[in-house]
Amino acid sequence: MARAPNLSRRLGLWLGILPFAIFALLFLILPTLGVVVGAFRAPEGGFTLANLSGLTQPRITTAFWVSIRISFITALLGCVAGFLIAASVTRGGLPRGLRAPLMSFSGVAANFAGVPLAFAFIATLGRLGFVTVLMREWFGINIYASGFNLISFWGLVLTYLYFQIPLMVLVISPSLDGLKHDWREAAESLGASQLQYWRMVVLPIMWPAVLGAFALLFANAFGAVATAMALTGSSLSLVPIVLFAQIRGDVLQDPTLGYVIAFGMIVLTGVASLISIILRTRAERWLK
């Protein structure tokens, strides 16, 4: 008789995750399998590896290189800035009351992307943006005459950092909270300074978590498309933009090439996400 309640409880738990499982199957797993199958399907319907040669086209390799550079730079800068901000709030001398507003803002900013983010930066740092005009009229500084251009590689990097830094704050804060006070007391009892404690104790322990966060930020930037399209249009060749144009049929009317480009993106983001999961799991074992 005791097995019946346990069985009902287990069925209830599985039914609870059923909507998510259906959603993941319909909008993640099946489309991904469709892309993979399409990338290796010959025109006559058989299996082939010849489609992968499309990734060697100069404009495709250029798009991948530009996307990798932007993803790497924004992930690196986002990790450094986000780590410093999170450490200042969780372990630094800043008031503890700042944590709740910072986390709330980070949760919103990490998901603020696409057309609204592009419009916000154009309205702020565009040629007639608020900050641009303010600096020119009040301080006599013309940032565009100095070489700055929002619709450029570094302009897109600056825009991406708006959601990369808050994402790093959200990801790394739990790991910083996991640092034990005993470690700091032990370091201080041995005569270690504040800098030595962070350099010789915290960073070696936090290194897997930081690298995992870096991989996550890399994958996050690599897959971003709406912000880049809204901000730069077709002036900057990124993989998501090239893929979008290929799917719409604006370029070569070759759906197979679109599958191959999407497959390349899946491989890169998948590897980055897998690295992130492995490293963060290892970091969590240290911090338990």
Q: CB 97: neighbour CB atoms within 10 A?
A: 9
- pLDDT of amino acid 214: 92
Name which of 43-47, 56-60, 123-127, 259-263 the model is least confident about: 43-47
Q: How confident is the model at residue 14 (pLDDT cuts 50, 70, 90)?
A: confident
Q: Which residues contact 114 (CB under 8 A, 6 or more apart)?
A: 226, 227, 230
Q: Is the pLDDT assigned to residue 252 strictly greater than 60?
A: no
Q: Is residue 17 assigned to a domain?
A: no
pLDDT confidence of residue 1: 46
Mean pLDDT score across all residues of the chain: 84
pLDDT for the residue 164: 95
Residues 55-68, mean pLDDT to the nearest whole number: 89
pLDDT surpassing 70 at residue 5: no
Domain annotation covers residue 72: yes
pLDDT category at 82 given cuts 50, 70, 90 is very high
Which pLDDT score is estimated for 70? 94
Q: In this model, does residue 168 exceed pLDDT 60?
A: yes
Q: What is the pLDDT of residue 158?
A: 94
Of the listed ranges 116-130, 191-205, 213-227, the least confidently predicted one is 191-205
Q: What is the mean pLDDT of residues 94-98?
A: 77
Residue range 38-52: mean pLDDT, rounded:
82
| Mean pLDDT value across residues 209-221 | 90
Indicate the angle between helix axes 58-90 and 99-109, nearest 10 degrees: 170
- Type of residue at 65: W
7 domain-assigned:
no
> CA-CA distances (angstroms) from residue 95 to 63, 91, 238, 287?
44, 10, 41, 24
Window from 1-15, 56-70, 104-118, 264-278 with minimum mean pLDDT: 1-15
Q: Is residue 20 part of a domain?
A: no
The span from the CA of 205 to the CA of 193, in Å, is 17
User: Following DSSP, what letter does each residue of 185-254 receive, concatenated?
Assistant: HHHHHTT--HHHHIIIIIHHHHHHHHHHHHHHHHHHHHT--HHHHHHHTTSS--HHHHHHHHHHTSSS--
287 — pLDDT class (breaks 50, 70, 90): low
Confidence of residue 250 (pLDDT cuts 50, 70, 90): low
Averaged over 74-97, what is the pLDDT? 87
CATH number at residue 81: 1.10.3720.10
Please count the structural domains in the chain: 1
DSSP 19-59: HHHHHHIIIIIHHHHHHHHHHTB-TTSSB-SGGGGGGGSHH
Segment among 22-31, 48-57, 276-285 with least mean pLDDT: 276-285
Specify if 97 maps to a domain: yes
Q: Is residue 42 part of a domain?
A: no
Measure the CA–CA gap between 229 and 220, rounded to whole angstroms. 16
Q: Which range (39-53, 65-79, 111-125, 140-154) has the least confidence?
A: 39-53
pLDDT above 80: residue 280? no
Q: What is the dihedral of CA 73, 85, 107, 230, to 10 degrees?
A: -30
* 151 within some domain: yes
Quote the domain boundaries for residue 153: 57-287
In this predicted model, what pLDDT tens digit does every residue of 113-147 receive, in sequence order? 888 898 999 999 988 888 999 998 898 888 888 88
In this prediction, what percent of the chain has a pLDDT beyond 90?
20
Residue 122's φ and ψ, nearest 5 degrees, are -65, -40
Please report whether residue 133 resides in a domain: yes
